[in-house]
Structure 1
Amino acid sequence: MAAFSFQDLTPDFILDAIEATGLYPTSGLLALNSYENRVYQFVAEDGKRYVVKFYRPNRWSDEQIQEEHDFTFALYDAEIPVVCPLKMPTSLLHYKGYRFALFPSIGGRALEPEQLDQLENLGRHLGRLHMIGKAQPFKHRPPLVDLKMLATHQERLLTCPLLPDSLRESFAAILKPVVQRLQNIAWHEHEQIRLHGDCHIGNLLWRPDGLTLVDFDDCRQGPAIQDLWMMLSGERMEQQIQLETLIEGYEEFAEFNPAQLRLIEPLRAFRIIQYMAWLAERWSDPAFKRSFSWFAEPRYWEQQILALKEQLAAFDDDPLSLQPSFN
């Protein structure tokens, strides 16, 4: 079956879909940086800026998308700064086989992790977010770490035609033990809550009124540390300071279990594998070939072999720790 290409999503089609909701654009469509979905910014006749997001078919079900929306509504109602879809009157909209949503467009600059006050602010927001996340589970969205999907990722990568034959054996020799180590972790022993799931700098906007979290498209059920570890960078001492700053803010609203710190490196390894598999799965989409051309180069695969070797070694390193006052 041919891969879905968004080929029918022409500017006229997009405008027709928006106007069917009763909102009338007065500007052109500005394509925003998104590969999984198609996202555009525009100005409407009311003078306000909006964003329209067309969901990639066959990725999420209607129920899974609605869970994302409902989660953001619950966070917004709790006065946690997030960007929610508009209800027109429903948040999940349909037009000629496409599913889409409309959002207010907000400005801001990226969070600066080296600014510890911003990092502590993020910790407070995540503590509040996770308290809402604990209130009930997702019923339709898959868990963050799905072991069946992990096996699928491994098969997809080992059979990827872009993997050079000269590197296939050495790539398999490191990928398989990393996957095995991930499969041996007792993930169920760690509390699983609703998460943002993709909490990196690109999804955190610093505005005059503070921090706002955006893009819950990858929200999942998983351990709390998932929304924290991507903020850690630099040497171990730097990461230690960043972690303690995050947790100091976090524990103003929610208790953090230090046992989850041992999951940081496994989650990092999982993300590396998931990202490679995502590129391999979407490679037939012309947008991916244009934007990720390096995925087809031998040097990329050589770098990934080294990265996986580092992650396998990191599994056995002592995890970051918290000062006694945080335990």
Structure 2
Amino acid sequence: MSDVLKRDRRVDPATTAFLGLTPQQTLDAVEATGLRCTNVCVQLNSFENRVYQIELHDGSPLVVKLYRPGRWSAAQIREEHQFLNALAQVDVCVCDVIELPKGGTLSQSGPLMLALFARQGGRAPEEVTMAMSARLGAMVARIHQVGVELPVEHRVALNADRLDDTLDWLLDQGALPADLVDRYVETAREIAAVLDERLTQVPRHAIHGDLHLGNLILRRDILHVLDFDDMMIGPACQDLWLLLPGRDEHTLRLRTAFLHGYRQFRDFDTRWLNLIEPLRGYRYVTYAAWLSRRWHDPMFPHTWPNFGTQKWWQKATQDLEDVLAHLDAPVVPDQIDDWAEEGSDLWDWGESR
């Protein structure tokens, strides 16, 4: 473990309250909004926030999300909620944010902010076939149709400056082993420069930002999208490559199906796919910084016990160098097969929820 992770990191009172949150405090915070709850309060899987399934007095289930303090402002969270509401209005299947009895969708409980959402049960997609990839493309395009029109002033932008700032933070913290600093930083700076160049001619708008398969469920065979917590201003490609991150030939074929579905609703210039590798490098660096920033939360060292070790940073450095080596690798296959017989139903509409 690196020395930076051994240091005593003091946290502010709001973070102390967040880390010590109990089910009873959660129920009290919900009831302060004007709702009545039973004693049901089951913690759900979430590293960044605290998320619980609760039960109202009439027996109906809801999900309460208490936001980690210091990450998003109230204005940024409200833009997340506005995005969700706009998507629901055009029948994109999301977890609806609930209007609170006292008005609005965001409540303050002491130092913590919370929101309530409809509970969405379902199962994760088991396999991404060509037909499923086309459905994913259509769904992402419909999200982006809304994102293009959404007025967003407060959310972060995905750009090279943010990557450089994250690197500066890691350096200031002394997070990297001394013998790897130069390799890691020089490689990441090269990736940032390529990202900056390739973003120049690419449109950016509100996107999901963290759209991997773990943030999707199938409910009655309809795709639902979860967790818009990382909503940002960025390129459309960010919401493609996380769903189809591989470099193998099969993944390249899946991308052609994704683009087929996407283009039923919106244009997607194939040249934008040259962002995949620099975006991969961006995610590697921001992921390392995220773990380092959250190390004061006991959940993180318990889940990632090897983070911060020499071996971990060695692998992280090699991963970045691998990105650099693949910056001009193929992103779609040379030949596109006819796969229409696998299915062409691209519709995942909200009325089927």
Same fold (TM over 0.5): yes
Pairs within 5 Å for 1:88-103: 88=100, 89-103=103-117
Q: Which amino acid is 2:192 matched to? A: V
Structure-2 residue corresponding to 1:47? 59
Offset of residue 260 of structure 1: 0.6
The answer to whether the 8 Å contact 1:68/1:219 transfers is yes
Structure-2 residue corresponding to 1:13? 25
Give the SS at the match of 1:122.
helix
Q: Which amino acid is 2:74 matched to? A: D
1:159-201 Cα offsets, whole Å, 9 max, x none, are: 4445333433443443343334334x24242111111111101
Structure-1 residue corresponding to 2:157? 143
Which of 174, 184, 202 is equivalent to 2:187?
174
Q: Provide the C-alpha distance between the structure 2 equivalents of 1:283 and 1:248, rounded to a whole number of angstroms.
A: 42
- Equivalent pairs: percent with the same residue? 37
Which of 294, 318, 325 is equivalent to 1:306?
318
The answer to whether the 8 Å contact 1:266/1:315 transfers is yes
The reply on whether 1:124 has 2:138 as its aligned counterpart is yes
Which of 76, 79, 82 is equivalent to 1:70?
82
Structure 1: stretches of 5+ with no match in the other structure: none
Offset of residue 316 of structure 1: 2.9
Q: Which amino acid is 1:230 matched to? A: L
Structure-2 residue corresponding to 1:205? 217
Give the SS at the match of 2:40.
coil
Moved more, 101-110 or 117-126: 117-126
Structure 2: stretches of 5+ with no match in the other structure: 1-8, 338-353
Q: Provide the C-alpha distance between the structure 2 equivalents of 1:220 and 1:235, rounded to a whole number of angstroms.
A: 25
The answer to whether the 8 Å contact 1:156/1:280 transfers is no
Cα 1:156–1:51 shift into 2, 3 Å: same
Which of 284, 288, 298 is equivalent to 2:300?
288
Q: Provide the C-alpha distance between the structure 2 equivalents of 1:305 and 1:292, rounded to a whole number of angstroms.
A: 17
> Structure 1 length as normaliser, TM-score?
0.91
Query: How many residue pairs end up in the alignment?
Result: 323
The answer to whether the 8 Å contact 2:40/2:54 transfers is yes
Which of 258, 263, 268 is equivalent to 1:256?
268
The answer to whether the 8 Å contact 1:195/1:224 transfers is yes
Instruction: Considering Cα pairs closer than 8 Å and 6+ residues apart, tell me whether 1 or 2 has the greater RCO.
Output: 2
Offset of residue 235 of structure 1: 4.8
Moved more, 108-117 or 125-134: 108-117
Q: Which amino acid is 1:259 matched to? A: R
Q: Provide the C-alpha distance between the structure 1 equivalents of 2:141 and 2:255, rounded to a whole number of angstroms.
A: 14
Q: Provide the C-alpha distance between the structure 1 equivalents of 2:158 and 2:246, rounded to a whole number of angstroms.
A: 25
Give the SS at the match of 2:64.
strand
1:32-82 Cα offsets, whole Å, 9 max, x none, are: 121211111122222222111011122111111111100110110011111
Structure-2 residue corresponding to 1:246? 258
1:93-117 Cα offsets, whole Å, 9 max, x none, are: 1122211001111111112343333
The reply on whether 1:227 has 2:239 as its aligned counterpart is yes
Q: Which amino acid is 2:188 matched to? A: L
Q: Which amino acid is 1:157 matched to? A: L
Cα 1:91–1:50 shift into 2, 3 Å: same
Q: Provide the C-alpha distance between the structure 1 equivalents of 2:181 and 2:157, rounded to a whole number of angstroms.
A: 30
1:3-30 Cα offsets, whole Å, 9 max, x none, are: 2241452222211111112333324322
1:254-304 Cα offsets, whole Å, 9 max, x none, are: 111212111111111111111111111222222222222221322211111
